[in-house]
Amino acid sequence: MAALAMRKYSRVARAAEAKAKKQPLRDMTAPETADAIREDRKKGAKRVRGGSKGQRFFSVRNRKFWNFTNWPRTYWARKWEKKDFFYAAIFGLIHAGACLAPFHFTWKAFACFFFGYVLTGMFGITLSYHRQLAHLSFKSPKIVEYFLAYCGCLAVQSHPINWVSSHRHHHGATDTANDVHSPKDGFWWAHAGWLLDQKGTWMRVDRSNADDLNKQWFYRFLAKTYPIHALVLPIVGLYLFGGLPCVLWGFFARVVWTWHVTWAVNSVSHVWGFQDWNTGDISMNNWLIGILAFGEGWHNNHHAFETSCRHGLWLGKPPVRYPLIYRVHKVGF
């Protein structure tokens, strides 16, 4: 009898154990190539031409820009996944379209560019994706949250579940072995290289840290139909609105500009600037990126106080977006 009870108990316990051990969305095992794992890669600073004088030119407060390649990446001579080729092709095409924009300049088209930059960069990426969704810094009615998230979709930086998951991984392991995009792997890696290397960012495949979004039908819907919202609708809409110039400026140039501004937060703001807080990572406060990225350049402040809505905590550092968040927050109550 006791043995039977024991057996029954162990079966129940095993089932509970299996349930407790939450399965990741995808296989989380690290790839075997040393290239993907930082500890296994050869460490070493890269010397810049011109010797120490050249190094100093690039440094602020003795931080040597090129020395950030602590764990060098192999950018080209690696096995490219199918997805890497696909992403590289999309990036290449959109950059090529942006190069054509200056030949088709009209003020109407430029207005599309500027309006799109504010709508997708400020409302979409910084306000929605970053502040509201990734860090849960403020609350708003669902309809406002979903509208802002839709603006974020238009920035062609992937759907909210992907973006938020990557960003939470970044905060969970800033500038350590498990950071998705640290300049310690190289400046270009932190800027855009990581986006072209699925295997090198293997920790990104675990999206369980964005379960709060995955539970909502709206974000699952955006994930399933993402290319329609990010590519098809804006291009068709802008073409109907103002023909080719509006497409080139309002989509191609705007997407490229907003990409590089967002990416600069990951690269430039982890290399150049000043550290006001001892965060233990290499995040920096950088005024130029602060202005371009609607306040995101106060990145050292951000890593010190992740959920704070205010980036510029002190006088002299204009809290660019705080009044806006405050207003959106007010609308909700």
Site residues, Zn ion (CB under 5 A): 283
| Integer Cα distance of 296 and 156 in angstroms | 18
| Integer Cα distance of 109 and 118 in angstroms | 15
What is the residue type of 225?
T
Q: Quote the longest CA-to-CA distance of the chain.
A: 86
Alpha helices in the chain (DSSP H): 2-20, 51-57, 82-100, 107-116, 142-153, 160-172, 187-191, 211-214, 217-224, 226-227, 233-247, 254-266, 287-292, 299-304, 322-331
Q: Are 113 and 226 in contact (CB under 8 A)?
A: no
Query: Of 269, 273, 289, 261, which is closest to residue 125 (Cα–Cα)?
Result: 261
Residue (230 or 282) nearer to Zn ion, CB: 282
Residue (35 or 296) nearer to Zn ion, CB: 296
Residue (262 or 283) nearer to Zn ion, CB: 283
In the complex, the smallest distance separating the C-beta of residue 125 from Zn ion, rounded to whole angstroms, is 11
In the complex, the smallest distance separating the C-beta of residue 168 from Zn ion, rounded to whole angstroms, is 8
Q: Are 34 and 161 in contact (CB under 8 A)?
A: no
Question: What does the block give as tokens for 297?
Answer: 């350049």
What is the residue type of 283?
S
Residue (238 or 309) nearer to Zn ion, CB: 309
Beta bridge partners of 144: none
In the complex, the smallest distance separating the C-beta of residue 182 from Zn ion, rounded to whole angstroms, is 8
What is the residue type of 40?
D
In the complex, the smallest distance separating the C-beta of residue 149 from Zn ion, rounded to whole angstroms, is 16
In the complex, the smallest distance separating the C-beta of residue 175 from Zn ion, rounded to whole angstroms, is 8
Question: What does the block give as tokens for 302?
Answer: 């951000």
In the complex, the smallest distance separating the C-beta of residue 100 from Zn ion, rounded to whole angstroms, is 33
Residue (55 or 275) nearer to Zn ion, CB: 275
CA angle (39 as vertex; 37, 43 as ends), nearest 5: 110
Residue (110 or 277) nearer to Zn ion, CB: 277
What is the residue type of 319?
P
Query: Of 44, 83, 28, which is closest to residue 185 (Cα–Cα)?
Result: 44
Query: Of 300, 303, 296, which is closest to residue 319 (Cα–Cα)?
Result: 296
Residue (73 or 169) nearer to Zn ion, CB: 169
In the complex, the smallest distance separating the C-beta of residue 328 from Zn ion, rounded to whole angstroms, is 18
Residue (201 or 283) nearer to Zn ion, CB: 283
Total residue length of the chain:
333
In the complex, the smallest distance separating the C-beta of residue 308 from Zn ion, rounded to whole angstroms, is 10
